Structure 1
Amino acid sequence: MKKFLLVVTVFLFSLSFSQNNKGKLFIIGGGSRPDFLVDRMVKEAGLNPGDAVAIFPQASSEQDSSFYYAKQQFEKRNLKAVNYAFKKGEKLPSSKLDSLKKAKLIYVGGGDQVIFMDIINTYPEVKNILQESYEKGNMIAGTSAGAAIMSEVMITGNQLKYKDYENTFDNIESQNVETSSGMGFIKSAVIDQHFVVRSRYNRLLSLIIENPGYQGIGIDEGTAILVKNNNKAEVVGRAQVIVFKNPKNSKSSYTEKLGSRGITLDIYLNGDEFTF
């Protein structure tokens, strides 16, 4: 009996440890990054002066500029910014991959999330390092496009029914929100960015009506969510985070327009916490 209890105790401890051994996510909704937001990111990542930050600027059409502006903020805090820019077909030296494995903070810049995933998917060894780094307890951070890639279901920004790209959708319609696969650090929610500034309510509402198993998390500019223990988030920043839920799995339609009942909306401010 004592042996059985010991085995159960060890199992429960190992299970608890494995569930809480994942790292942290720092997901920024885009725009400028206030100092206190960056300071919190650095602190939560456990960085000390001289430590390296791995920066991925691939989502940007101007990778040099994307790296430069991120570099400025990290070097201001006596950190070493390392550029992990690469293009399809480029051979990555093993030394660079080895140094990436040691980074406590991996930061993905803004731009186009589809471009980032298209590149990263052609380098499975890099993608695996990012995922393993998170599993080992390190921080993965990102802004704008770098925020969108955090979820398993990733909003691309495109509409399936309309060819022209728009910052916001002017409709709540069925089968219109284009999604693809992101990095999958978040399984139970979908991230949207620049949320309040660009009025992106319609596309996130459309998504959770058609995919009620997910929550929709809209993060505004200059604002982030710090995610710990897989699904516990704290708001850090100067604006809001909007969370939509469709707890009743409600969906109706009429001439392709979507309807729903019982959708909930929560608006969180700096310091507020929520689970998803």
Structure 2
Amino acid sequence: MQMGTDEMESTSKLIFMKNFLLLSCLIAVFPSFAQKGKLFIIGGGKRPPELVQRMLQEATLDKGGYAVIIPFASSEPDSAVFYAKQQFSERNIKVFAILHSTLSQNALDSVKNAKLIYFTGGDQNKLMKTIRTTALYQAIWQCYEQGGMIAGTSAGAAVMSKKMITGNEKRYPAYSQTFQTIEAENIEFGEGMGFLEKTIIDQHFLVRSRHNRLLSAVIEFPEYLCVGIDEATAILVQNKNAEVVGDSQVIVFENPKKSKIKQGIKLGGKNLRVSVYVAGEKFKIR
């Protein structure tokens, strides 16, 4: 018995609706399924013109649109905005700054529809404390999920990870800039934006000799990829692929055998994997 035309159209519509609802459910349950934005993660320090130009091109700002600066990591947000704006305005890019975490719906829509959201440097803990429970946090994620670029330097790089290095040492709070030991339970972590779920980002990496910190991390948390980005250098991330951009290198630590030796508070590990990437090289990120 053959179906009539109306019956076939009705069946096709029903199948379409079922598939649409299934896709909607998948996106709701697994939000990363819908993510299609880019990340531009800068290790701090100076930003070479070529690096800035690549960031703007990848965000398609050369074809219109605008950027948004979020300076809440800085202790002097007005100054942070002033210097960050220069790299946009001298290239005739329209840019706005967000100076308050409580925003009107129009302002939130502007964040959501930006081509690029840029986090300045400073203190990543201060940044996350300011925005974590706000509608601004959600607007930033919406921007990313609908194809926008999220960029950040220094503290703005650290927040890209879900497991965020705070910069503090638990055992030796008087130490500054770098870790002098490879020890258990010494790294303090907070919760970052979570654009990278299984990658830990460290910044100013070679300049400040932060190898001990990431070695400690990769031994204690072997399921994570640990990425150290040097100054004047960035990684461009899209679809779990990372490309090195800039003047220096990116160091990646992996612990494929999940090796962990603990002797008192000292940490050891065997057959750890270390890769040193230069500009133009690519690697998989988690």
Per the normalisation by structure 2, the TM-score is 0.87
Query: What is the aligned counterpart of 1:54 among 65, 68, 79?
Result: 68
Structure 1 position 120, deviation (Å):
0.6
Query: What is the aligned counterpart of 1:190 among 184, 200, 204?
Result: 200
Distance 2:136 2:35 in 1: 21
Residues 64 and 49 of structure 1: is their aligned pair in 2 closer, same or farther, counting only changes over 3 Å? farther
Cα deviation code 1:212-258 (max 9, x no counterpart): 000100000000000011x1000000000000000110001112110
Task: Name the structure 2 match of 1:93.
Answer: 104
Q: RMSD across aligned C-alpha pairs, in angstroms?
A: 2.2
Distance 1:26 1:20 in 2: 19
1:271 is the counterpart of 2:280: yes
Structure 1 position 96, deviation (Å):
1.2
Query: What is the aligned counterpart of 1:115 among 96, 101, 126?
Result: 126
Distance 2:66 2:229 in 1: 27
1:166 is the counterpart of 2:176: yes
Task: Name the structure 2 match of 1:223.
Answer: 233
Of residues 129-138 and 78-87 in structure 1, the stretch that sits farther from structure 2 once superposed is 78-87
Per the normalisation by structure 1, the TM-score is 0.90
Alpha carbons 2:37, 2:148 under 8 Å: kept: yes
Alpha carbons 2:35, 2:144 under 8 Å: kept: no
Gaps of 5+ in 1: none
Query: What is the aligned counterpart of 1:203 among 205, 213, 219?
Result: 213
Equivalent residues, number: 264
Gaps of 5+ in 2: 1-10, 27-31
- Return the index of the structure with the highest Cα Rg: 2
Distance 2:92 2:64 in 1: 6
Distance 1:128 1:165 in 2: 35
Cα deviation code 1:88-114 (max 9, x no counterpart): xxx422221121121010000000000
Task: Name the structure 1 match of 2:3.
Answer: none
Identity %: 53
Instruction: Give the partner amino acid of 2:210.
Output: R
Alpha carbons 1:157, 1:165 under 8 Å: kept: no
Matches within 5 A, 1:4-23: 19=33, 21-23=35-37
Distance 1:219 1:48 in 2: 26
Task: Name the structure 2 match of 1:76.
Answer: 90
Task: Name the structure 2 match of 1:247.
Answer: 256
Alpha carbons 1:107, 1:142 under 8 Å: kept: yes
Task: Name the structure 1 match of 2:158.
Answer: 148
